[in-house]
Structure formats: structure tokens, C-alpha cells
Amino acid sequence: MSCFLTLSSFVGEDQDAAAKKLALMFRMAPQQASTILKKISKGQAWQTPQGISDQQASVAENYLRSIGFQVERSGQQAVVDQIAGAVVLEEEPPSDEAGPGLSGSEDEIEGGPPGSPPGTGNDLRPPGNGGTTKPGGSPSRDMPIGFHGTGGGLFKIMLINWILTLLTLGIYYFWGKTKVRRYLLEQSSFAGDRFYYHGTGGELFKGALIFGLMLTLFNLGTMAIGSVWGPQAEMIAKIGSSYLILILLPVIMVGAFRYRLSRTAWRGIRLSFRGKRKSALWLYIKGYIFTLLTLGLYWPFFTIQKQKFWRSNAYFGSQSFNYDGEGKDILKAFLLLILLYVVTMSAPFALPLLIPGISKELAGIAFALAWIPLIIGFLYYTVYLDRYNWSKTQFAGGVFNYDATGRQWFMLNFTNFLLIVFTLGLALPLATVRSRRFLADHLSVAGNMQLSQVVQEAQKSSALGEGAADGFDMDIDIGL
């Protein structure tokens, strides 16, 4: 039998702590829980929008009363103005009464029942992005992307992480990584509302343990082969297992990216990744084989196919991102980069022919200097690809726009490099924040992004791929 819980008042002392516990119990965003608590404190009752089992209700009722809520249980639901399991995204004027990142009437902000996926049973009416609204309800300006973190704030987190990682002989690394990721995500915002990260260090630690066990079994297997058939067979087995792990890298990447997106939420709705491991495995195997057979000419097409796989299989709730890039569009830029590589690499070897008697020292200096234009060219090609890929990415009628130039991208990376080198790595947090802010400053969403209903659909995922990615020291990040 199902029933409903109604929170009629709050008599506790610490509202901030109560809001955090409410968010954890109902698996909602902290800002949403804070707004609900404000509503309750003003004497307005809040009720779970969906029926829950008697067992769930008993546990939730006792816990909520222990932290200061007055709770009532009923067998039927009160009349509420909401659509369970959906988020209505419309442009509305901001409300001064709502907490940071939320606006509109507090009566419109509801949460889901205990045990439901985050965002289930929510009806959030988020604020407008500061722009005007056309008669048809369409926004008339871009929706901004922001980053609000500071180098000092991230430095404090990373400094504590470094110390605790050393004291725990590396075990704290996974919890420290989660804290950094949570800081960077929750300091990022879209259309005025910040993201929220639900991942935990324990999940990463468990994933790393499982992957470590798998590697141990591989090593034990190769040792067993060596003890039976000799050292040569053991060496062949080690080489074969190494190639097998390399082939399986796309599978590991899918697991890591699926975990990361599934733990990221915005306005109470989580992101997810629905690409298949088999599809990724075949895509990468085919791409590398064709690139080898075409002496590299297939690489631009392979690059676009990878972007299409990662972006088009990313979802926000029930809505997928779309990517419509084509390899032929970037082929010219790729060939120019290859031409630059051939010219810069052949120039030092051509110097003895052009300048007979040139010393080996000068030839070595010329060879070192030849890398400079190549590195600059690669950076310009990278930002060109970023602009192209974002321009081909759409979501719910909106198109992403990335307007960074090659010069801006080069100066960012060059100054970050100098900061890290001359501070012996201490400026890494500052460099990270500068890169995040650079992306936010140059990335926006143009067009009429209007989502009538984005339904929360929880996707199963684990941290095994994330732990494996740590084992390979891979950073799975496409800027979403």
C-alpha cells in the first residue's frame, strides 16, 4: 500500500544541515532542498508528489522527525500543481524570493520520493537567462555558460588532497579527485543555474579495486603460462595481454564517461550516456585500421565519427544531444597541418644542403626551433576543431557556439605552461580554473532552446570504467 508524507513545519535549529539531509534523502539538488525548506519555514506544507511504500514512509518519517521536521502521513495525495517526473523549462522573470539558481514561485518547486532517481517527481520552473522573451515564448538572446570558481578556492582543496593522499599512502586520492570534480562542476553554471555532482570517492575506489584485481589476474595468468611453457611463452602472453587491454580502451572509456555523466545533474535532472561498448570498440578498431591503410588520410573522418559517438549518445534526462559534423569539412585543415609538419621537420635536414659547412650545434638548434611553428599550428588546429565541433552540436533547438581564436587559445596554454613550470606545479589549480573560465567565457548556446518536458530517466552505471581510466591515467573529457 502506498502513502504520502507531508512536511508541515520545521522546528530544528540548523536549516543548512537540514536542507543537506533533505537533499540526500530525496536525492535532489541542494538548492532545491533549500528552497523547499524555506517554503516549509514560512508555514507552507510540502508533500511527496508520488506514493511510497509503508516501509519507506516509516524510515523517512522517523529520520525527518529526528532532524526537526513535523511529518504527517496520509493515504492520498493532496492536489498539487505539478507534473511528476518532468521539468518544464520555460522563460520566466526571476523571483527575488527564490534561492540562488532557482526562481519562480516556491509552490512550483517540489521533490521526489525517497529512493526515486534524482529529479524524479520534480517540477522545477527555472529562471530566465536575463534576456527578453518573444511573444511566442522564445528567448531572444543566447543562454550564457559561466564559471565562478577561483584559483585560491581550488588550491585549498588540492593542497588538502595532496597532504591526505601522502598520509594515506595514496588511498585518499579517489576522495580527493571527487572533491576537485565536485568543485569544478558546482562552480559551473548554465542559464544562471549551477550543476551538481553526485559522485563519491567510495565509488571510484571500488572501481579501481575491481580493475586492479583484473590486472592482477592477468599477471597471474601470464606467470602461470611462463611456469608451464617457459619464459618465451610468458613474454608472448604479456605482450598479448597488453595489446588486449589497449584494444579494450574504448570499452573502458565508455564506462568512465557513463559514470561521470550519470553523476552530473542540472536543475534536478541528471545527464547520462547511452553509447554501447560494442559500438565504441568497433568504431575505434575500424578507425585505426582505415587510418593505417590510407596512410593517415582517414583520420579526419575518424575524428568526426568519434565526436558523433560521444556527443550524440549524451542525454539530459530523456533528451539527447545531436551532432551533425562531417569529415570532409575538416579535411583541408588536417592536410594543412600535415604539410606544416612535413615542412618544419624537413627544414633542419635541408640546412646542410642550403648552407654547406653548418655546424652540428646550429643544426641541432634549428631542429629544436622547428618544433615551435608545429606546436603553434597544432594549437590553432585544436581550437579550429573545437569551434567546428561545438557549432555542429545541438540540443533541444539550441546550437552551441564557441568563439575562441587560435591566438587566445595559444596565449592561454602558453601562460598556463609558464605558471606551472615557474611555480613547480603549485599553480596547477590556477591554470585549471583559468582553462575552465576560458571555456565558459567563449561558449554559449544560440537559438530557441525550449524544452517542454525533459523526463528523468535513470541509467545504470558503475565506477569500474572510471577506476580503469585512472589506472591508465586517462582523462575522459569532451567539454560537456
In this prediction, residue 96 carries a pLDDT of: 37
Residues 6 or more apart from 424 whose CB is under 8 A from it? none
What is the mean pLDDT for each group of 10 consecutive residues in the chain (480 residues)? 78 80 78 84 77 74 79 59 34 35 34 36 34 41 83 95 95 94 92 87 88 85 85 84 84 90 86 92 95 94 96 90 94 93 78 70 75 88 94 89 92 95 94 95 83 51 47 34
Burial class (CB in 10 A: 0-12, 13-18, 19+), 13: exposed
Cα 119-390-259 angle, rounded to 5 deg = 40
How far apart CA 108 and CA 294 sit, in angstroms, is 58
In this prediction, residue 454 carries a pLDDT of: 56
In this prediction, residue 100 carries a pLDDT of: 35
In this prediction, residue 452 carries a pLDDT of: 52
Task: Report CA 165 to chain centroid distance, whole Å.
Answer: 24
Distances from the Cα of 337 to the Cα of 148, 289, 330, 343, angstroms = 35, 21, 11, 10
Strand partners, 394: 322, 399
Q: Which DSSP letter does residue 126 get?
A: P
In this prediction, residue 463 carries a pLDDT of: 47
pTM attached to this predicted model? 0.65
If DSSP codes are grouped into helix, strand and coil, which group holds residue 334?
Answer: helix
Domain positions in the chain are: 2-128, 148-471
In this prediction, residue 451 carries a pLDDT of: 54
If DSSP codes are grouped into helix, strand and coil, which group holds residue 118?
Answer: coil
Q: Write out the E strands in 156-218.
A: 188-190, 193-197
Which amino acid, residue 117? Answer: P
- How many residues are present in the chain? 480
Beta strands 69-74 and 52-53, pairing class: unpaired
Distances from the Cα of 311 to the Cα of 91, 325, 390, angstroms = 26, 11, 10
